[in-house]
Amino acid sequence: MKTDSLFYSIFQEFPFIFFALLGIPADATNQYQFTSQEVKQLAFRLDGLFLPIVADPQLPFYIVEVQFQPDPNLYYRLFAELFIYLKQYQPPHPWQLVVIYPNRQTERECDIHFQEMLALPKITRIYLDELTEPETASLPIKLLKLVIEPENTASDLAITLARQAETEISNIAVRESFINLLETIIVYKLPQKSREEIAAMFNLSDLKKTRFYQDVFAEGQAEGQAEAKQREKAVILRMFNVGLVIEQIALFLDLPVTEVAKIITEAQQEQAEQN
């Protein structure tokens, strides 16, 4: 499963969570756009990129890398992408590189080549399991901690966060999006759970109104067949985009693997044609 895709989905929907990790006030979000950008020379792609949208040369742009598997080549690739990107685009802003790890054991530093560079103030390494209690007190950071929460306690933490969101997030749309992400993370972490088990776990009034709940759990609605198929397709693609594999999606939605694979393949072909 692609944990980085899950994090990038979180940063796309709630960019202020990224700045909360860095201890930067949430209003900085209004100055940035989260995107990805191709580094053409070597067919690299910077999947996590916060670019300033205001003309302030003091604002840095942020390259974000989420790394949940040991990779001895990570820093070779990252620094190559960074400097080729600088050469190609010559952005009018200073750079910052942020790497997010679940723990220090996952990192491969390659001290012989990168020790001095990794000590630069332009580079921030975040280890989620080392965030201090004050840092993890905020709801956004707790959401990220859910990703590394052990499976046996993830359900309880998700329910606690959902209840906290009901009381702390007054904006209905933001609260719904937050709870959607909670549900998505639980599906990602616990794909063996059935729809009924997850529906029972999230037995909260607001949860049953969310888009994700209605997409995945609601049954028996009076919809035309074409509309129902479109909803099914949207759910499959959403689950695939946050890192679930075809077999997991098929098991969770109780669909044939061949049908799920066909929908994903067709969507990828449509995207390729549009590009």
CA distance 103 to 94: 28
- Across residues 99-110, what is the average pLDDT? 93
Q: Would the pLDDT of 99 be above 70?
A: yes
**Residue-wise pLDDT tens digits, 13-46:** 889 899 989 989 888 999 999 988 776 655 566 7
Whole-prediction pTM value?
Answer: 0.72
Q: Would the pLDDT of 98 be above 90?
A: yes
Task: Tell me the longest C-alpha to C-alpha distance in the chain.
Answer: 64
**Residue-wise pLDDT tens digits, 112-141:** 999 999 999 999 999 999 988 776 678 888
What fold is seen in the domain 3-131?
A: Trna Endonuclease; Chain: A, domain 1 (3.40.1350)
Query: What phi and psi, each to the nearest 5 degrees, are found at residue 191?
Result: -65, -15
- Across residues 165-170, what is the average pLDDT? 85
Q: Would the pLDDT of 58 be above 90?
A: yes
Q: 182, 140 in Cβ contact below 8 A?
A: no
What ranges do the domains of the chain cover?
Answer: 3-131, 149-218, 229-274
What is the DSSP-derived secondary structure letter of residue 93?
A: S
Which pLDDT score is estimated for 257?
A: 85
Q: 36, 46 in Cβ contact below 8 A?
A: yes
